[in-house]
């Protein structure tokens, strides 16, 4: 189960979470930049575990379960740290939208899998673009707190709003795809057919 490199990389991402929290709250002068670097390293391991799993046929049920969980956990924890650091409604609103969407879509995918229709809510290009913007926003905001030079913090805020918009858009795309199952229409048509 943990003997494959992709699973070890995914588990590393989970272990990074407490390290990220501790590092973020240290008194070290470079803590924000170091926190962003650690978050970025976790993002790189996410890309690598998928690459190795596909290239060397190392996919496992454990990895398929843990990979999306690790992604959502580290994003939620990073956003929680940033909510405290920014402590205002203008940042909290998009962060909460992103976190809540992840919960809704995770539940939707689990429910659709029980119906045997998980492919209806497979990851789309909008979801991938949303994830990319989220990572960029979190990296910028972790590395550059309010008052940073060159408006890098403000760029992070704009990017997190872009990610929140794509988050809502992708959620509606997934809900629309799942609507026949959610509304019972596909179940009724199967019973009639």
pLDDT number for residue 177: 86
- Predicted confidence at residue 174, as pLDDT, reads 86
Give the domains, in start order, of the chain with CATH numbers.
Answer: 5-179 (1.20.120.1760)
pTM: predicted TM-score of the whole model, two decimal places: 0.89
Q: Give residue-wise pLDDT tens across range 8-49.
A: 999 999 999 999 999 999 999 999 999 999 999 999 998 899
* Positions of the chain with pLDDT lower than 70, given as ranges: 1, 118-120, 122, 186-193
- Per DSSP, the residues of 87-149 read -SHHHHHHHHHHHHHHHHHHHHHHHHHHTT-GGGG---HHHHHHHHHHHHHHHHHHHS-TT-G
Query: What does the block give as tokens for 6?
Result: 């992709």
Question: How far is 117 from 138, CA to CA, in rounded Å?
Answer: 32
Q: Which two tokens stand for residue 172?
A: 């509606």
- Residue matched to tokens 């670097």: 37
User: What is the pLDDT, as a whole number, of residue 1?
Assistant: 60
């Amino acid at each position: 189960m943990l003997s494959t490199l992709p699973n070890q990389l995914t588990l590393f991402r989970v272990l990074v979470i407490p390290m990220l929290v501790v590092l973020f709250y240290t008194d070290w002068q470079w803590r924000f930049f170091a926190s962003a670097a650690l978050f970025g390293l976790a993002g790189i391991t996410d890309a690598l575990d998928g690459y190795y799993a596909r290239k060397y046929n190392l996919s496992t049920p454990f990895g398929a379960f843990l990979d999306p969980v690790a992604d959502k956990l580290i994003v939620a924890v990073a956003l929680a740290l940033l909510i405290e650091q920014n402590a205002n409604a203008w940042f909290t609103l998009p962060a909460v939208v992103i976190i809540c969407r992840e919960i809704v879509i995770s539940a939707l995918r689990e429910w659709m899998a029980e119906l045997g229709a998980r492919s209806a809510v497979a990851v789309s290009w909008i979801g991938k673009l949303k994830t990319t913007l989220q990572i960029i926003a979190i990296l910028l905001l972790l590395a550059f707190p309010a008052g940073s030079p060159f408006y890098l913090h403000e760029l992070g805020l704009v990017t997190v709003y872009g990610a929140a918009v794509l988050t809502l858009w992708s959620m509606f795309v997934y809900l629309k795809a799942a609507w026949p199952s959610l509304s019972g229409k596909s179940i009724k048509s199967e019973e009639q057919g």
